[in-house]
A = this chain, B = another copy of it.
Amino acid sequence: MKFGGTSVADLDRIRNAAHHVRREVEAGYDVAVVVSAMAGRTNELVELVERVSPMYDAREYDAVVSSGENVTAGLMALTLQEMDVPARSWQGWQVPMVTDSSHGVARIRSIDTSHMEQKFGEGLHAVIAGFQGISPEGRITTLGRGGSDTSAVAFAAALGAERCDIYTDVDGVYTTDPRITGRARRLDRIAYEEMLELASLGAKVLQTRSVELAMRYKVRLLVRSSFENGPGTLVCDEEEIVESKVVNGIAFQRDEAKITLIGIADKPGVAAAIFGPLAEAGVVVDMIVQNISEDGLTDMTFSCPVADVPRATRALEAAERTHSIGYRDIVTDTEVAKVSIVGIGMRSHSGVAQKMFATLAAEGINIKVITTSEIKVSVLIDRRYLELAVRALHDAFDLQDAA
């Protein structure tokens, strides 16, 4: 069971979360509870570190920032004890959960659950400080923001848990953002691959890495609300999903930009000459399209977050000055958004992309860039049509009705 920052924001909420734990204990489970820091605390600690040292030593950043989870873990263990649920807290190094030495963005290498399982044998449930581990050098590491989800999935895998319940402030995964259309529907089940597309496409329910990890180790994730009872959404292997619709979700990213390089040479190496400097400048390039060549010249279009546009144009202009690209013009459009339809059913159904394009055309929405994968189709459109596009697609693919 994993509780995020808003679910443990104060002592009342910790007590509320502990009630969920007690319910599972009373149902006969051994429970490992992974907790985040109390809402806001990690931000406070990050701010202290950044004020002291803008280019901080990431090892000290980790030592400071991991302390928030230690507080919540101890308080949760005490709260459970007060409810007659025997429990003890574990910090990352106590388990130990060993990570690599990439401080601030560490990756988990191994979790030795033998001591914890011995304590389960003694009737002691576990409360684990999320987000943190220990490096091979014995320093504290953290997994990156949102890392407690990843901690939870990793512990579920290591312990061979029946389920990993992610308690959050929403009651499950929706077909799309309910603030955009009242017809958005909570999904009972969703396949890992679909969740991964939705997570990386901007649905903020789960950290992408945690879903990858769950998929690799076949950990069944149940996303549910801390604040109301409900079945939640099970993220699971597609074999567990008997009937699925062709499209299960619509994701979007509002603040996208489109940058086009006009009149570049259509020859080997030009893509590397463009995207190499962009990567070095830390620009997160998403979609890429190259137009058909005419007279040996072509256009190259890519999308990136609006916030990355200044860095992107600076990097491209710098590359141009050293004659490493050679373009006639840069055209920037910062008024676009990305909409994606996602569904494992696409694999076995044709005509899904066509239906998406026809739906958007019927609303008079022009498509600027298209990319597809096996289970998704993404389009870039004018930002002002974003809500209209999501609603139209939600209706066109009957997402308001269960399969």
State the A residues within 8 Å of B (CB). Answer: 11, 14, 45, 48-49, 51-53, 56-57, 59-61, 63-64, 66-68, 70-71, 73-75, 77-79, 81-82, 88-89, 91, 93-94, 138-140
Hey, which chain B residues are within 8 Å of A48, CB to CB? 11, 71, 75
Q: Which residues of B contact A91 (CB under 8 A)?
A: 63, 140
The answer on a CB contact under 8 Å between B45 and A60 is: no
Candidates B14, B59, B74; contact of A60 at CB < 8 Å:
B74
Q: Which of B53, B60, B88 contacts A88 (CB 8 A)?
A: B60
* Contacting pair A82 B63 (CB below 8 A): no
Whether B73 pairs with A63 at a CB distance below 8 angstroms is yes
A-B contact pairs, 10 of them (CB 8 A): A52-B79, A56-B78, A60-B88, A63-B73, A63-B74, A64-B75, A67-B67, A67-B68, A67-B71, A93-B93
Residues of B within 8 A of A56 (CB): 78
Contacts of A45 in B (CB 8 A): 71
CA distance A138 to B112 in the complex (A): 15
Collect the chain B residues with CB atoms within 8 Å of residue A82's CB: 52-53
Residues of B contacting A139 in the complex (Cβ-Cβ under 8 angstroms): 94
Nearest to A51 among chain B residues (CB) is: B11
Given contacts A60-B89, A63-B70, 13 further A-B contacts (CB under 8 A): A45-B71, A52-B75, A52-B79, A52-B82, A53-B79, A56-B78, A60-B77, A60-B88, A64-B70, A67-B67, A67-B68, A67-B70, A93-B93
Bound-state CA distance A55–B75 (Å) is 13
Question: Within the assembled complex, what's the spacing in Å between the Cα atoms of A11 and B44?
Answer: 13
Given the known interface contacts A45-B71, A71-B45, A138-B94, the answer about A52 and B78 at a Cβ–Cβ threshold of 8 Å is yes
Copies assembled: 2
A235 to B230, CA, bound (A): 65
- Is the CB–CB distance between B57 and A81 below 8 Å? yes
A14: B residues at CB distance < 8 A: 52
Query: Contact check: which of B60, B67, B77 meets A78 at CB < 8 Å?
Result: B60
Q: A57 — which chain B residues lie within 8 A by C-beta? A: 77-78, 81
The answer to whether B49 and A61 touch across the interface, beta carbons within 8 angstroms, is no
Q: Which of B59, B63, B89 contacts A63 (CB 8 A)?
A: B89
Q: In the complex, A89→B79 CA distance in Å?
A: 31
Given contacts A11-B48, A11-B51, A11-B52, contact A61 B74 (CB under 8 A): yes
Q: Which residue of B lies closest to A129 (CB)?
A: B63
Residues of B within 8 A of A138 (CB): 94
**Which B residues touch A81, using CB under 8 A?**
53, 57, 60
Q: Which 7 pairs, one residue from A and one from B, show the smallest C-beta to C-beta distance?
A: A64-B74, A63-B74, A67-B67, A53-B78, A60-B74, A52-B78, A67-B70
Name A49's contact: one of B51, B52, B67, B74 (CB within 8 Å).
Answer: B74
Contacts of A88 in B (CB 8 A): 59-60
- Contact check: which of B11, B64, B140 meets A71 at CB < 8 Å? B64
Closest to A89 in B: B63
* Chain B residues whose C-beta falls within 8 Å of the C-beta of A75 in the assembled complex: 48-49, 52, 60, 64
CA distance in complex: A57, B93 (Å):
21
Chain B hits for A70, CB < 8 A = 63-64, 66-67, 70
Task: State A81–B89 Cα separation when bound (angstroms).
Answer: 32
| Complex Cα gap A68–B71 (Å) | 9
- Of A61, A74, A81, A88, most B-chain CB atoms within 10 Å: A74
Closest-CB distance, A230 to chain B (whole angstroms): 27
> In whole Å, how far is A163's beta carbon from the nearest beta carbon of chain B?
26
Q: How far is the CA of A231 from the CA of B79 in the complex (A)?
A: 49
A77 contact set on B, CB distance < 8 A: 57, 60, 63
Closest B residue to A18 by beta carbon equals B52
Residue of B nearest to A138 (CB): B94
Whose C-beta in chain B lies nearest to the C-beta of A79? Answer: B52
Tell me, in angstroms, the Cα distance from A222 to B138 when the chains sit together.
Answer: 33
